[in-house]
Amino acid sequence: MPNTTEKPVTIVPRQLGMWDVASITAGIIIGAAIYESVPRIASNVSGPTSLMLMWLAGGVIALIGALCYAELSSAYPHQGGTYVFLNRAFGGWAGFLYAWSEFWIVRPGNIGAMAFIFAKYFSQAIGATALGSTASQLLLAAAAVVLIGGINLFGIRMGKGTQNVLTVVKIAGLVAIFVVGMWPTAAVEAGASAQVASDVAEVAGEPAQLDWTLALVFILFAYGGWNETAAVAAEVHDPQRNMLRGLLLGTSVVVVTYFGVNLALLRTLGFAGIAQGDTVVATAVARILGPWGARAISVSICLSCLGAINGMLFTGARLYYALGVQEPAFAWLGKWHDALGTPTRALALQTVVALVLVAVFGSTGEGFDPVVMFTVPVFWSFLLLVSVAVIVLRLRDRETPRPFRLPFFPLEPVIFFLTSALMIYRGVDWLLDPYHKHDGIYWFSAAATVLSLVSGAIIYLLTRRR
């Protein structure tokens, strides 16, 4: 039976306002994923029009997801977000497996992806090519995780203050890219925007071919994060208004920003230049402002990574705190440090697990692509359950006040469900593709995913027997 009588976890001070919610949302979404994703997306679509339409479609999907979460978080403004929604809709097993999988796969995987991009651009920012080795990149990625984890351990004032500052810096950097790219002298020479040739270098570990579903995977990864803010709903002042406004404001800012950046890159490098490039943003800026401009944008990208890591650690720790409050077997995680205003145990543990995953994937010399695809099947499986939970809870908990209600219900959760199903299929298909049969890290990813879910189910059953 669904667990509709879960322990209340709204026992922490409400210290976050609308701007904090918007900042956390935009801060998590605007990581460095856009900088790494753009060439991967362009090489899997047919031309500039398709590229822009795909980014627009990703933004619409993100807004639909944010609206679904707005209804849930305004109705159930408890600490834990998705964990609470799944717990209430389907029972303790769903919430527990979600928290378990987030702990071992999704959260550390996403943190690791941002850390690897930070390492890549840090060496460019300081002009130290010697830091490009596998060992150096691994150490830099680990240092980014430790730095942000340490900042958050100093308390919520430090954590949210860091998030707000880094979010402003990140958006300013993307706006600067747009301005530079749209400058009158920045236009690419005629003919340079022709469709990418058939011999484009392999992208994301797959043979060169057009694949719009793979492009959508990376687009939605770049847009990922709108769901994270629900984890701090219990700390939001007047959540019925501020959660909705913050989610919509933060997501809308990202959609407009991403669209503008892609327009600027198309104008500066052309479609072929994007599809065949690697560090396309730095290349575009260097064409106009020279080497110092490329270094400046590399610094901005590093700050974007730190902001995303900060947001994910900030919200992730609160998810595990909620698990500790709900589950007696993990009660040691449900400890709130009153003086610092943060769940220090959960935060420290999340940082350690992220470091382990960084070490595993970083040792291969390929960080971003495999760690992103590692998270896709599990992440979207639980988002699929959330889309169902929106409908289940609307129909079953009729007496629960819903300050925000989806305007076209059930259209939004149905679209959310179909998108999630497509992403699950694409992620599983990519991991099991015979092309990867000789690559151990992909087999590790598939095995770790199955092991995480099975072990989580076993532990859940054992704790219930006790």
Query: Tell me, what DSSP letter sits at residue 191?
Result: T
Question: Highest mean pLDDT range out of 19-28, 99-108, 328-337?
Answer: 99-108
Main-chain dihedrals φ then ψ at residue 16, nearest 5 degrees: -110, 135
Q: Which residues contact 60 (CB under 8 A, 6 or more apart)?
A: none
- 312 pLDDT band (50/70/90 cuts)? confident
Q: 154 to each of 252, 334, 351, how far by Cα in Å?
A: 31, 18, 14
* Phi, psi dihedrals of residue 328, rounded to the nearest 5°: -55, -35
The answer on pLDDT for 367 being more than 70 is no
Mean pLDDT for 202-216 is 64
Residues 430-453 have a mean pLDDT of 72
Q: What percent of the chain has pLDDT over 70?
A: 79
Looking at per-residue pLDDT, the higher value among 346 and 90 belongs to 90
pLDDT exceeds cutoff 60 at 3:
no
For the chain, give the percent of residues with pLDDT over 90. Answer: 12
Identify the CATH class of 18-465: mainly alpha
Task: Using the Cα atoms of residue 71, residue 422, residue 48 and residue 305 in order, give the sign of their dihedral.
Answer: positive
Residues 43-78: tens digit of each pLDDT: 888 888 889 899 889 988 988 988 888 888 878 877
Number of neighbours of residue 438 by Cβ within 10 angstroms: 8
What is the per-residue pLDDT for 130? 52
pTM, full prediction: 0.79
For the packed helices 82-90 and 92-101, what is the interaxial angle rounded to 10 degrees? Answer: 150
Q: Where are the domains of the chain?
A: 18-465
- pLDDT at residue 134 greater than cutoff 60: yes
DSSP count for the chain of H helices, then E strands: 16, 0
330, pLDDT greater than 70: yes
State the average pLDDT for the chain. 78
**8-state DSSP, 358:** H
What's the confidence (pLDDT) of residue 388?
97
Residue 91 exposed, middle or buried by CB count within 10 Å (0-12, 13-18, 19+):
middle
pLDDT band at residue 268 using 50, 70 and 90 as cut-offs: confident
User: With bands split at pLDDT 50, 70 and 90, how would you rate the model's confidence at 94?
Assistant: very high
Which residue has better confidence, 318 or 131?
318
Residue 256: its pLDDT value, please?
Answer: 83
Structure tokens at 436: 């990867």
- Cβ–Cβ under 8 Å, residues 80 and 322: yes
Determine how many CB atoms are found less than 10 A away from the CB of residue 200: 18
pLDDT higher than threshold 60 for residue 92: yes
Task: Read off the tokens for 184.
Answer: 């009158």
Indicate whether 359 pLDDT > 70.
yes
pLDDT band (50, 70, 90) for residue 199: very low
Question: Is the pLDDT reported for residue 279 higher than 80?
Answer: no
